[in-house]
Amino acid sequence: MRLLSLFFTASFVLLMPNLSRAQKGKPSTYLLRPAAVFDGQTLHPGWAVLIEGDRIKAVGPAAQLTAPAGAQTLELPGQTLLPGLIEGHSHLLLHPYNETSWNDQVLLESQALRVARATVHARRTLEAGFTTARDLGSEGAGYADVGLKQAIDQGLIPGPRLLIATLALVATGSYGPKLSTDVHVPQGAQEADGPEGVIRAVREQIGKGADVIKVYADYRWGLGGTAAPTFSQEELNLIVTTAAAAGRPVVAHASTPEGMRRATLAGVQTIEHGDNGTPEVFKLMKQRGVVLCPTVAAGDAILQYRGWRKGQDPEPERIRQKKTSLQAARKAGVAIAIGGDVGVFSHGDNARELELLVREYGFSPQEVLRGVTSGNAQLFGLTDRGSIKSGLLADLVAVQGDPTQDVTALRQVRLVMKGGAVYLRN
């Protein structure tokens, strides 16, 4: 029996993915020699990067950087080295709706099952080169995102650095799942109402570990299932001021002009989606310094789940409206965060958002690369990452080819490093 046990143990170790072994290692000293370095702003052919411990020690022309004694030199021919990518909007506790509907995930899947899936989602996200992610709501899985973040931070599982929103906030009656009016079912977010109710809910979520507070400023509870505002201006103001007192930003799901207006006046950090934003609302967002995270990939995926044959059928009105809205936001000068609402579609497919922005929404490859690195870092207040500079975290990804010319090169991940530790090497 002991021999059998030793056999299975040895087999498990041999078959265990390289990523699992790598994540147990400690940061070391590396000299990375790619074909070019994209530092978060500009492409620099012939540059190299020196890593010491969990930080970037030096960056510059390869001829000027020498590997110190004991350092490992990693040759990355034909590859571009970038800052670790930052996912602006994800849900690690969800999986694609064409596999299981959102209602069924919330109501029928156990938290244990959802957490088990999420550990795989976290690994796939990291392997795709996304070393940081804003995870904006556990969607009925309680505070499971708190434990998931702790497991990653403690090195128990591989995954990106997480900014978590825990339960998210909704006005009573506005969210889902909704079944028979005779049946009260668990909701996908925390219901709260009135001054005392929203203050208490914000404080509860912060006390449990929320890095950000997410609020649904509108939702599909209007007549005929149309989107309509949920919280009053007073409630939104209190949510933001209560969170700010504890150093937490607020992000707002909003797609209607009025929901976006109220959230902007309240002082949220970002508005997620913004599908039906108007020039007037975007002008206000620009004045107030509120950021838009458009999540174009989510709507694109959902419409295909519902039968849209992309490339064959006419473009749906929802897509046309999204393009009009995002164009108006850019014309108004609103800052754009890059995030796809991953979980609606597959984790690890995060580059889908960037590809759509370039291919269908008029962004250049350089714009989205800046956005998903230094841009997101600045907009989310992450001063220790997002660029390749001395002193910043050694969160890096190398891809085959030049993504500043062809954004699809982000699919060809060859190296992922987080905090100076190599998690993937192809």
Same domain, 78 and 93: no
Residue 345 and residue 240 share a domain = yes
Beta-carbon contacts of 410 under 8 Å, excluding residues fewer than 6 positions away, are: 85, 129, 351, 354, 399, 403
Please check whether residues 73 and 164 belong to one and the same domain.
Answer: no
Is residue 401 within 8 A of residue 78, CB to CB? The reply is yes
131 and 35 belong to one structural domain: no
Query: Cα–Cα distance between 281 and 257 in angstroms, integer?
Result: 6
Q: What is the CATH number of the domain that holds 62?
A: 2.30.40.10
Residues 49 and 126 grouped into a single domain? no
Instruction: Report if residue 122 sits inside a domain.
Output: yes
Nearest to 89 by CA among 289, 298, 262, 249: 298
Whether 8 is covered by a domain: the verdict is no
Cβ–Cβ under 8 Å, residues 332 and 279: yes
The pLDDT tens digits for 276-324 are 999 999 999 999 999 999 999 999 999 999 999 999 999 999 999 999 9
- Please tell me whether residues 397 and 416 are part of one structural domain: yes
Structural domain for 227, as ranges: 85-379
- Helix or strand (DSSP H, E) at 147: helix 144-153
Q: Do 206 and 196 lie in a common domain?
A: yes
pLDDT for 343: 98
Are 414 and 328 within one domain? no
In a domain, 90, yes or no: yes
Question: How many whole angstroms separate alpha carbon 365 and alpha carbon 409?
Answer: 10
Q: What mean pLDDT value characterizes the chain?
A: 94
Query: The domain that contains 293 carries what CATH number?
Result: 3.20.20.140
- Within 10 A of 126 (CB to CB), how many other CB atoms are there? 29
1, part of any domain: no
Query: Tokens 């497991």 appear where?
Result: 151
Same domain, 335 and 398: no
Cβ–Cβ under 8 Å, residues 353 and 297: yes
Residue ranges of the chain whose pLDDT lies below 70: 1-27
Based on the domain organization, do 76 and 89 belong to the same domain? no
Contacts of 282 (CB under 8 A, 6+ apart): 292, 328, 329, 331, 332, 334
- What is the reported pTM? 0.93
Domain count, the chain: 2
Examine the domain organization and report whether 146 and 294 are in the same domain: yes
Which helix (H) or strand (E) segment holds residue 72: the answer is strand 72-83
Least Cα distance to 373 among 150, 168, 28, 81 occurs for 81
Clarify whether residues 163 and 42 are in a common domain: no
Domain closes at, from 379, 398, 413: 379
